[in-house]
Amino acid sequence: MSLERLEARDKADHARELLRRLCADVGEDPLQLVERAFGFGVEFATNNAQGRRTCRVCGCWEMRACDGACWWEEEDLCSACVLEETLP
């Protein structure tokens, strides 16, 4: 096996272990966690590419605000996520 394939396999094993630990910590099914993260990433990237102001934490934007409404505290941070962003 080539060195590149061994390195790729090690990275994939490491990523699987991180995902397993994360899922254990949050008590969520790995597939659902990945699907949700991918969906958020696609939506965030699409909004940014189209010049839409988008929250860096939750992905809300003008046409899809957070539950209970929110407003902009920073260029890319909504009011609902300010506290979440400041917690350790």
Give yes or no: residues 46 and 76 share one domain: no
pTM, whole model, 2 decimals?
Answer: 0.50
Name the packing angle between helices 30-49 and 3-26 (round to 10°): 100
Distance CA 24, CA 39 (A): 21
Q: Report residue 73: phi and psi, to 5°.
A: -95, -35
Distance CA 73, CA 32 (A): 30
Give yes or no: residues 46 and 59 share one domain: no
For residue 1, what pLDDT is reported? Answer: 60
Residue ranges of the chain whose pLDDT lies below 70: 1-3, 5-6, 8, 19, 22-23, 25-28, 30-40, 84-88
Give yes or no: residues 82 and 59 share one domain: yes
Which domain does 14 fall in, by range?
A: 1-51
Give yes or no: residues 1 and 42 share one domain: yes
Give yes or no: residues 30 and 6 share one domain: yes
